Amino acid sequence: MKKVYIETYGCQMNVADTEVVFSLLGKEGYVRTEEMGEADVILANTCSVRDNAEQRIWGRIEQFQFQRRTRPGVLVGILGCMAERLKDALLESGKVDVVAGPDAYRSLPRLLAAASQGHPQIDVLLSRDETYGDIAPVRVDTNGVSAFISIMRGCNNVCSYCVVPYTRGAERSRDAHSIVREACECAQRGYREITLLGQNVDSYRWEDLDFAGLLALVAESVPALRIRFSTSNPQDISDAVLETMASHDNICRHIHLPVQSGSDRMLEKMRRRYTREGYLERVAKIRALMPDCAITTDVIAGFCSETEEDHRDTLSLFGTVGFDAAFMFQYSERPGTLAARKYPDDVPPEVKTRRLEEIIALQNRLSLESNRRDVGKTFRVLVEGPSKRNPAELCGRNSQNKMCVWPDTVHRAGDFVDVTVKDCTQATLLCELFRIFVE
Ligand code: SAH
Ligand code: SF4
Ligand code: F3S
């Protein structure tokens, strides 16, 4: 039996894909190992979204060479977005045996078999209809509490900075029956939470079913599970989705709503199809329907031609919304994208860094303020396991996706527990078990 080791980089979609790859290889007799040193096949499922993501993977490819040199027969394969973007260039490096893009995983057993005969293999064909809908993923997360379910692949937007449409191909939605079936299987296996994944979940459409319909269907099919979803594009998140959330207690009160910039001039150049005002209108609607809903975001500092005024617009938008958390990045030009072809990457690196630092400093304050507002509140949390810092404490997330920790030697991973927030840091709610009786 051959052993396969996979490292996963990038977004949650890649985590879900790695689970599909384990399943596809498992059917061919491969077994999973967590020890690179004993693997016959070493795979990296990669990300191309920013240059530093790719640089990190090149570094890992160098480290894989030691295994290849010292243990003849070991195969190194690159999967995912970087495989799709760099194609032959990866093979030409002489450092990898197999290159397989995101839609080519069914070919992996064949590619590995051929590569083991000494012929490097590549398959980077993108598909119009591949969704791996029939593949039961082999869950690789260790907590056994929370599972990802991919509901669509690819992306039909052309945000000018973004490489994803090139690496993942055209958007396609997965058969709703197979999604519901997978959700039910998760419930049967003891999972307590599922996250529906897509680059743009709000444009899900399968036959007559849109995302609001799918969300309701899943929530009602597995009433004992908590449902999350990601990512929502501000241009597409509909009132129907918000109303579905509001009317189902098991859909978590959290929306990840990437804004990218607070300046209309930048949004237009980024080809995001909403304005600052439109974004704020969506935020207002979310809060009107669900006052307790957390809103988090992604932002890019230093996109092409960004001025200080544009940057101040981003800061002011952050202040206005008061995000609960954010992922914050410096613009990284990606070859082949519209921005790379059309607009000079002209904000100096030190300016990008300074602007990013300003956004981070502001968000740190906003995150702390958001957490302080929760002190005194009681939340139902899903126990993930012992907290990292203190084995006498458990940790888990509330519906708003905030990390909670509390002293507890009774409950276990997978339990739902009510906790009251006593204090907080910028990243964590410090809680204690909720008590009904006053002692
Ligand atoms: N589909 C999601 C985003 C996926 S990429 C959406 O539309 O929101 C995740 C995040 O990476 C993006 O939201 C963006 O903030 C960031 N990102 C994408 N391309 C980037 C680039 N070229 N440079 C810097 N950050 C980028
Ligand atoms: Fe990239 Fe835009 Fe598609 Fe998100 S919606 S994956 S940012 S092109
Ligand atoms: Fe990266 Fe590909 Fe995801 S580029 S962010 S792994 S879709």
Residue ranges and CATH numbers for the domains of the chain are 3-123 (3.40.50.12160), 146-373 (3.80.30.20), 378-436 (2.40.50.140)
| Residue ranges for the chain with pLDDT beneath 50 | none
How far away, in angstroms, is 273 Cα from ligand 1 center?
A: 15
319 alpha carbon – ligand 3 mean position (Å): 29
Q: Sign of the CA dihedral 61, 67, 72, 75?
A: negative
Q: How far is the centre of ligand 2, averaged over its atoms, from the C-alpha of 111 (Å)?
A: 30
* Overall residue count recorded for the chain in this entry: 439
| Cβ of residue 15 lying under 6 Å from some atom of ligand 3 | no
Ligand 3: which of 6, 11, 21 to mutate, most ligand atoms within 8 Å of CB?
11
Look at residue 61 in the predicted model and tell me its pLDDT: 97
Identify the nearest ligand to the CA of 157 by its number.
2
Distance 176 CA to ligand 3 centre (A): 24
Neighbouring CB atoms inside 10 A of 423's CB total 12
In order, the DSSP letters of 91-135 are: HHTTS-SEEE-TT-GGGHHHHHHHHTTT--EEE----SS---TT-
DSSP state of 82: H
Mutate to test the pocket of ligand 1, among 260, 296, 298, 337 (most ligand atoms within 8 A of CB): 298
Nearest-atom number in ligand 1 for the CA of 157 is 7
**Does the CB atom of residue 401 touch ligand 2 within 6 A?**
no
Residue 249 in tokens: 């207690």
Count CB-CB contacts under 10 A for residue 98.
26
Residue 9's SS3 state is coil
Give the pLDDT confidence score for residue 140 in this predicted structure: 84
- Which single residue is written with the structure tokens 């599922």? 194
Q: Per the structure block, which two tokens stand in for 119? A: 């012929």
Tokens found for residue 287: 């809060």
For residue 350, report the distance from its CA to the centre of ligand 2, in Å. 26
Look-up of token digits 């990218």: 260
Q: Tokens at residue 376, please?
A: 């005194």
Residue type, 285: K
- Choice from 11, 231, 300 to test ligand 1 binding pocket (greatest atom count within 8 A of CB): 300
Say if CB 48 and CB 82 are below 8 A apart: yes
The closest-lying atom of ligand 2 relative to the alpha carbon of residue 233 is 5
Element counts in the chain: helices (H) and strands (E): 14, 21
Taking the centre of ligand 1 as the mean of its atom positions, its distance from the CA of residue 49, in whole angstroms, is 7
- Best CA proximity match to 49, nearest among 155, 181, 137: 155
Whose CA is closest to atom 13 on ligand 1? Answer: 298
Burial code (b: 16+ CB inside 10 Å, e: under 16) for 168-184 equals bbebbbbebebbbebbe
Q: Choose the residue to mutate in 12, 47, 52, 159 for probing ligand 3, maximizing ligand atoms within 8 Å of C-beta.
A: 47
Structure tokens at 20: 């599909």
Q: Is 13 in the pocket of ligand 2 (CB under 6 A)?
A: no
| Residues 83, 166: Cα–Cα separation, whole Å | 11
Residue with tokens 């990457």: 345
Sign of CA dihedral 237, 238, 242, 244: negative
Please give the distance, rounded to the nearest whole angstrom, from the Cα atom of residue 80 to the centre of ligand 3: 8
Q: Which ligand minimizes its atom distance to the CA of 161?
A: 1
Query: What percent helix, strand, coil does the chain show, rounded to 5?
Result: 40, 25, 40
Q: Say how far apart CA 25 and CA 47 lie, in whole Å.
A: 21
Distance 85 CA to ligand 3 centre (A): 11
**Cβ neighbour number for residue 438 with a 10 Å cutoff:** 4
Cα(301) to ligand 3 centroid in Å equals 19
Amino acid 167: pLDDT: 98
Q: Is 152 in the pocket of ligand 3 (CB under 6 A)?
A: no
Strands 403-407 and 428-433, bridge-based pairing? parallel
Residue 201 neighbours by CB under 8 Å, 6+ apart: 151, 152, 211, 229, 230, 231, 232
Of the ligands numbered here, which is closest to the C-alpha atom of 198? 1
pLDDT in the model for residue 437: 60
Whether ligand 3 lies within 6 angstroms of the CB of 13 is answered as yes
Cα–Cα–Cα angle for 185, 190, 196, rounded to 5 degrees: 55
CB-ligand 1 contact for 300 (6 Å cutoff): yes
Atom of ligand 2 nearest to the CA of 272: 2
Cα–Cα dist 92/107, whole Å: 20
Q: Is the distance from the beta carbon of residue 155 to the nearest atom of ligand 3 less than 6 Å?
A: no
Residue-level pLDDT at 425: 97
Choose which residue among 153, 162, 199 to substitute to test ligand 1 binding: the one with the highest number of ligand atoms within 8 A of its C-beta.
162
Average of per-residue pLDDT values in the chain? 96
What residues contact residue 110 under an 8 Å CB cut-off, 6+ apart? none
State pLDDT tens for residues 59-77: 999 999 999 999 999 999 9
Question: Ligand 1 within 6 A of 260 CB?
Answer: yes
Q: Is the CB of 234 under 6 A from ligand 3?
A: no
